[in-house]
Homo-oligomer: A and B are copies of this chain.
Amino acid sequence: MSSATQQLQHLLEHAGLRVTQPRLRLLEFFARSSGHFTPEEIWDRLRASGHPISIATLYQNLKTFSEHGLIGEMIGQNGEVRYDTNLEPHAHLVCLRCGRLADITLELPDLRPRGQAQGWLVAQTRVDLQGLCPECQEADLPAP
């Protein structure tokens, strides 16, 4: 067993989860991928890589992993659920033309609302920027 796989094992053990083949494969996927993936995308890629797992097991483990803080869960631009290895708080930059999604770290000013909504206790902020990525600006097509 590779040492990379051993690390993933420790991750599962540390979370109090049993070490199983489907879980190791799913964690491996996240370890070697970077991005924000829908369950379907993950399922397709696991299948394509020769390590298919059952769709039920996939959904169950995505939920389990995100509940244990091993991966992040986010709601995409169109309401799709996506999973992510980036556990740091970060904002997203979505290209309106090609859909490319980049993580960015914004230094946010104090966003505590004044005026209309005083008295709220703000715990988290979710910021998504939409626009055109450099490549799509380059392509210089009419705006979508």
Say yes or no for A116: interface residue by CB 8 A criterion.
Answer: yes
| Residues A113 and B104 in contact, CB atoms below 8 Å apart | yes
List the interface of chain A (C-beta within 8 A of B).
75, 77-81, 91, 93, 95-96, 102-106, 109, 111, 113, 115-134, 137
CB contacts (< 8 Å) of A125 on chain B: these are 127-130
Which residues from chain B contact A93 at a C-beta distance below 8 Å?
113, 117, 120, 122
Cα distance, A111 to B121, chains bound together (Å): 23
A127 to chain B, nearest CB (A): 5
Shortest Cβ gap from A25 to chain B (Å)? 26
- Choice from B77, B79, B105, B121 contacting A80 with Cβ under 8 Å: B79
User: Least Cβ distance of A110 to chain B in Å?
Assistant: 10
Chain B residues with CB below 8 A from A105, complex form: 115-116
Q: Are A137 and B111 in touch, CB under 8 angstroms?
A: no
Q: If the complex has contacts A75-B79, A80-B79, A104-B113, are A131 and B127 also in contact, measured as CB distance less than 8 A?
A: no
* Contact partners of A115 in chain B: CB under 8 A: 104-105
Contact of A132 among B81, B123, B128, B130 (CB under 8 A): B123
Which residue of the partner chain B has the closest CB to A107?
Answer: B114
Q: Which of B81, B103, B116 contacts A104 (CB 8 A)?
A: B116
- For A111, the chain B residues whose CB sits under 8 A away are 106, 127, 129
Given contacts A119-B137, A120-B134, 4 further A-B contacts (CB under 8 A): A75-B79, A106-B111, A109-B109, A111-B129
